[in-house]
Structure 1
Amino acid sequence: MLIYGHRGARGEAPENTLPSFRKAMEAGVTRVELDLHLSSDHQLMVIHDPTLKRTTGIKGKVAAHTAAELIRLDARHGLAEWPTPCPIPTLEQLFRSCPEFEHYQLEVKSGSTVQSRRVIEAITALVGDYALQDKVVITSSSRTLLKYAQQIDCALPTGLVEEYGFLDPVKSALRYGCRFLALNWKLCNPARIKQAQRRGLHVSVWTVNDPQLMLKLEEMGVDSLITDVPQLAMRVLKGQSPSRLTE
């Protein structure tokens, strides 16, 4: 089972910052999941929320600021004990700083068709610049974005992020031509996982931080899990007894 660091290593460093991604790498995790918003000058910024308050302490929207303004902000507000400033990175900075990563799940927090077009164009161009076509999947819970990607025959694979499961997640992912299905762990059961895999979907499960749950999902046969604690996940999946993990 593959391991993806959630926002880098969210449980160990300020989320979606270069130190967080380096923490994942130090743990031996070479796959990461991260979130993207566009700046006012249409640069891809690595940040989860559409607003800045939670991670920087500053009021305002990401889309109201240029990339140059955003990278000057300190995004360690949610982990105040972190010793050094952590700027909001651009996706290009991440690609440039961490060439060792083998795969990226790029979750797009976009709704409108116009925003979908802009962000997909920006991702496609940047991925092409860094020759990462085989190392990226664009994921989203936005049906608008996934539908648009399908309509333009997007060159990059896509994935449905499903949290609630009001509709059949497997059917929804296939409807939009997805190759990944990123499921909330609460939606997982062996039958659903096997159904998805039989239809050619890679099943990635989030957010998994409990050792026993990691092992349970591994037994179910999920393809990958997304975790805040890459170091813990690596220890668990290398076979160390969960009862010894806090020793």
Structure 2
Amino acid sequence: MTVIYGHRGAKGEAPENTLASFQRCLEHGVTRCELDLHLSRDGELMVIHDATLKRTTGHRGKVSQHSAEELMQHDARLGCPPWLQPCPIPRLEELFQRCPFEHWQLEVKSASRVRAARTVQAIEALASRYNLLDKVTVTSSSREVLRALNRLTPNLKRGLVAEYAWLDPIKVARHHGCHLLALNWTLCTPERLLKAQKAGLHVSVWTVNEPALMRRLADFGADSIITDFPGLATVTLKS
């Protein structure tokens, strides 16, 4: 059965990567989520997609130039579905405390060797503190991040985010010891899906927002889909 992950919470219904978005996802009965992480200046794991603040908050500067306390003062509702209450950029720790997801895909964007190392070690420390090591998969398209996961945090499950097929995503995933392949839906042919599953990979397809595509991928046998509309996906796949 194809399971559902909320993309940045419920990105199509609430401000992405905010507590409100993850709570909306849970309200739909979707207990798996995908989110994005960047380190603050003081080493906190902050839940935000871009390396800069402009798109979701209207402020200038990089996430890495601000402390967690400063970042939590920024309202991340810009360019998102209308929302009445302010939505601060959350720390991952706050979500671990308040959102009882049964599985988390934590995507780490490309990073320098040093920053990749700091990020994966921070994830491992936080997941250990909240007894969530078995409920977390760290995903990335960055070879630097995947190498850091292998080298420094072998206890963390890892996944390759694949958007293009110029390198065989299954080979790359196996090379880095991945458990999961987060595959752009345009790459998800029945043949590639079956080959990946035979290689022992959970195939999670993104970003799937059309009901017809949801049904087609479920018919193909995709292990999971990542969607901006977890409520719509629940209704679609139940029917």
Find the counterpart in structure 1 of residue 175 from structure 2. Answer: 175
Cα–Cα, structure 1 residues 49 and 153, in superposed 2: closer, same or farther, change >3 Å? closer
CA distance in 1, matches of 2:13, 2:121: 32
2:134 match: secondary structure: coil
Deviates more, 1:50-59 or 1:150-159: 150-159
Pair 1:218-2:222 in alignment: no
User: Counterpart amino acid of 1:56?
Assistant: T
User: Counterpart amino acid of 1:133?
Assistant: L
- CA shift digits 1:210-230 (9 cap, x unpaired): 000000000111100000000
Find the counterpart in structure 1 of residue 97 from structure 2. Answer: 96
Find the counterpart in structure 2 of residue 84 from structure 1. Answer: 85
Cα–Cα, structure 1 residues 31 and 80, in superposed 2: closer, same or farther, change >3 Å? closer
TM-fit CA distance, 1:110: 3.2
CA distance in 2, matches of 1:178, 1:117: 17
What stretches of structure 1 move > 4 A for 4+ residues in a row? none
| Preserved CA contact (<8 Å) 2:46 2:68 | yes
Pair 1:201-2:207 in alignment: no
With structure 2 as the length reference, what TM-score do the two structures score?
0.98
Deviates more, 1:74-83 or 1:186-195: 74-83
**1:1-247 alignment runs, 5 A limit:** 1-79=2-80, 81-98=82-99, 100-152=100-152, 154-239=154-239
TM-fit CA distance, 1:153: 5.2
CA distance in 2, matches of 1:53, 1:238: 38
TM-fit CA distance, 1:87: 0.2
User: Counterpart amino acid of 2:73?
Assistant: R
- CA shift digits 1:139-189 (9 cap, x unpaired): 000011112222335211000000011100000000001000000000010
TM-fit CA distance, 1:97: 1.0
2:41 match: secondary structure: coil
CA distance in 2, matches of 1:221, 1:55: 35
User: Counterpart amino acid of 2:144?
Assistant: T
RMSD value over aligned CA atoms? 0.9
| Preserved CA contact (<8 Å) 2:38 2:109 | yes
Percent identical pairs in the alignment equals 59
CA distance in 2, matches of 1:61, 1:44: 14
With structure 1 as the length reference, what TM-score do the two structures score?
0.95
Structure 1: gaps spanning 5 or more residues: 240-247
Deviates more, 1:106-115 or 1:10-19: 106-115
| Preserved CA contact (<8 Å) 1:5 1:226 | yes
User: Counterpart amino acid of 1:69?
Assistant: E
CA distance in 2, matches of 1:147, 1:220: 31
TM-fit CA distance, 1:51: 0.3
TM-fit CA distance, 1:80: 6.4
Cα–Cα, structure 1 residues 180 and 102, in superposed 2: closer, same or farther, change >3 Å? same
CA distance in 2, matches of 1:207, 1:173: 19
CA distance in 2, matches of 1:89, 1:151: 28
1:78 match: secondary structure: coil
CA distance in 1, matches of 2:96, 2:66: 22
1:134 match: secondary structure: helix
- CA shift digits 1:38-59 (9 cap, x unpaired): 0000100000000000000111
